[in-house]
Amino acid sequence: MTTLALGPSWLDPNFLLNEFGIYGLLIIVFAESGLFFGFFLPGDSLLFTTGLLVTTGTLTMDLWLICTLICIAAIAGDQVGYLFGKKVGPALFNRPDSRFFKQENVLKAHEFFEKHGPKSLVLARFVPIVRTFTPIIAGVSGMRYRSFITFNVIGGVLWGAGVTLLGAWLGKRGWVRDHIELMLIGIVLLSVVPIVVEFLRTRRKRGSAVPVATPDPDKTADR
């Protein structure tokens, strides 16, 4: 099965699964869930492709076992992100930009967390980049661990098992198997919709916040 390149070949889900198998999949899910340098990894399309490959028999592991392992990796990744944020604290916001770290990503995740509260741990799972930094921000903000672990588990299961099962369910349909490249493009586009919406909303707010020049009374009186 071939897929249309959605970026560098080494980020192609089919390539990653063929080269590294289930162990590579779990490492990627873990890294993207809470390690700040994992934000660029193809989580959504990778999980979808995994479910599809199980249905087609390319991956021979049982679907329920793969889903269980994915959920564990996702929950564990968020756990590490939370502990990292709790240890680093506010210093994270002063960290200089580097190849694998952008201050802009931290600020976006912080705004997302402030807006949605604890449930952001669930919602962020379905938003690329934001899902990587949100557990870190939860740790920085001092979120109660009991609340964190509850929403962490809910989000990890909904995302990890949900997207994988969606790929497995759609993979039973011949049209999907014959047009996997279009399905992956659709998954990527859907995953970036929240980012685009938030960008447009922020841009609109900035535009409306531009101060309107008011006429100088003295100059008006001179006319």
| CA angle (17 as vertex; 15, 191 as ends), nearest 5 | 80
Q: Of 79-88, 113-122, 200-209, where does the model show the most confidence?
A: 79-88
141-196 pLDDT, tens digit per residue, is 888 899 999 999 999 999 999 999 998 988 777 666 666 666 666 666 666 666 56
Contact 88, 223 (CB under 8 A): no
pLDDT at 20: 85
Between 101 and 141, residue with greater pLDDT:
141
Residues 55-65 have a mean pLDDT of 87
pLDDT at 215 over 60: no
For residue 172, count CB atoms less than 10 angstroms from its CB and return exposed for 0-12, middle for 13-18, buried for 19 or more.
exposed
pTM recorded for the entire structure: 0.73
Q: Which helix (H) or strand (E) holds 174?
A: helix 174-178
User: Lowest mean pLDDT: which of 88-92, 137-141, 177-181?
Assistant: 177-181
